[in-house]
Structure 1
């Protein structure tokens, strides 16, 4: 193992551990060591995702169930402090954004480039794999993506949710002059607004019941917003090229589909109920394409370039920074409608 001369790596590290729904506390665990082809990363910042909140509140997300103590957090950035065998020692000191899912690289999905659908994927903070609410993590080196100086510590972690938005907009085939409807103005919805704009969309309408979140969508590039408690989306827009649901709410999905033009696209990004009903007459008579999304594949170079160029703002999304000991506060910050993206900073002590 090759370590940095100016980073003393302790034998143990502080780790925030979820032991049961609603029960999270800091424990000391052995600091991991990188194996062959891996790097050890000192974690600087970790964004709080909706899945982290669901695990904290309910102990599960869809089919993924917490059955043993789990470390949350998968939106992470940091600095490489040591390398395992077969890794260039010059990577020590490099700032990186962590792509938190490592596939098998051998199955049919991996070989055809759809590695995010690998059945043997090991993804941070998805039971039984621990995440990044800790001081150090190990990761295969090719999933530790270098970031330029223009990207801050917090922004390096937020490359992960930005990748979700890049994948969603790619699936929707958003390009020059595309008209887009987006449901939900949480973190993913707001990032999807920014990516759609960067990809060339000229009309971006956001449906969101919360006024503070509608305001945020406007700040980040939405051309119009709709309060669904007052109006249906089709009263404001009609014949959009693509509808992206970032809410997971069945009523939002059903209300958005009729606004899509013939041969348009519907991309389901948010995760909600296991089953919902859809307006099949609209889907069939208009030949509307409907697809789900699950994480991302090969999006990190694009996401890093968008953030480094300033075409997508990541630091402006951060509405709270918390110590590792205050992870519970970060996980409950979503009760404030003005909160967009809380982050946990494992190295912060005061």
Structure 2
């Protein structure tokens, strides 16, 4: 099979690799669509994210959909031919975190496109059958792949405790921010304000369902009095402003990857009894994610602004330099 392999900063190469074997309990998926994530771009440009360092050839891509073409021992043969969205995690399912239902925090986690585990910019991947989730007919292949970032949005909005009638502030109108805005509306938020300094991205957020947008460089964020704040920017100033925008007993969730350390307004957090937390991936989100899309409450297809083949993965990874680009996908069969 063909695989796009990261060999160095800004350097990917299409190589021939064997089609993966299918171990017991797993399925072989012919990849249809793979979303490009900010983490893929970071590895492509910097060869590391925090403690995760690319020190050997690596296949990127972890937002995956496709079709089951073979099954391993113990898997129902009727699954062959079925369309699936792939949850790109391999937890041990035996440690304390896994047994407590927090398998996203498994200390022995193996995750697609996180060194040293290869991802899905390939023609075929083998995955545990339990993490190859059937896709409703209403979902396109692109939407099936983007159930992964939608899962991040669901995890964030759940952590924010969003309930009907809430007012929610989202910082950052990239793909995750726009998805979080849609999920907050689906969870019943009466008002969703999205903050971003880039005009094109604010416009995209409005088209996707935000009730209003603002430019943090020109408009005040602190003092909005929202029930929940979700940071999808990773920018320290945005996090501080968002905390200042919370009403007493409000909730802040940090999603965006940015500075490892930030100076936070501790007095504000104490005086208002605010809750501040983060999220790390997700657990048990795919069925809900598929329902939100199939029912029309979340629109993932409208996020896609570009499609590329395996020969053009480098261009796909650089597409974010265009402010009008929101989400691009790689289609290995293209």
TM-score (norm 2): 0.99
2:312 alignment partner in structure 1? 326
Secondary structure of the corresponding residue to residue 126 of structure 1: coil
Q: How far apart are residue 232 of structure 1 and its match?
A: 2.1
Q: In the alignment, which of 273, 287, 296 is matched to residue 287 of structure 1?
A: 273
Establish whether residue 296 from structure 1 lines up as the match of residue 282 from structure 2: yes
Output the CA distance in 1 between the equivalents of 2:294 and 2:55: 39
Q: In the alignment, which of 171, 175, 187 is matched to residue 183 of structure 1?
A: 171
Q: In the alignment, which of 310, 322, 335 is matched to residue 296 of structure 2?
A: 310
Output the CA distance in 2 between the equivalents of 1:270 and 1:44: 27
Residue deviations 1:221-240, cap 9 Å, x none? Answer: 11111101112213xx6211
Q: In the alignment, which of 49, 56, 65 is matched to residue 68 of structure 1?
A: 56
1:2-81 paired onto structure 2 within 5 Å: 13-81=1-69
Aligned pair count reads: 334
1:151 alignment partner in structure 2? 139
Secondary structure of the corresponding residue to residue 33 of structure 1: coil
Secondary structure of the corresponding residue to residue 242 of structure 1: strand
1:212 alignment partner in structure 2? 200
1:63-212 paired onto structure 2 within 5 Å: 63-212=51-200
Q: In the alignment, which of 244, 248, 253 is matched to residue 230 of structure 2?
A: 244
Establish whether residue 335 from structure 1 lines up as the match of residue 305 from structure 2: no
2:244 alignment partner in structure 1? 258
Output the CA distance in 2 between the equivalents of 1:303 and 1:83: 25
**RMSD (Å) for aligned C-alpha atoms:** 0.6
Secondary structure of the corresponding residue to residue 17 of structure 2: strand
Output the CA distance in 2 between the equivalents of 1:64 and 1:298: 25
Secondary structure of the corresponding residue to residue 233 of structure 1: coil
Q: How far apart are residue 19 of structure 1 and its match?
A: 0.6
Output the CA distance in 2 between the equivalents of 1:34 and 1:123: 18
Output the CA distance in 2 between the equivalents of 1:232 and 1:280: 20
Output the CA distance in 1 between the equivalents of 2:322 and 2:115: 28
Residue deviations 1:133-156, cap 9 Å, x none? Answer: 000000000000001110001111
Specify every segment of 5 or more residues in structure 2 that has no aligned partner in the other structure, as ranges: none
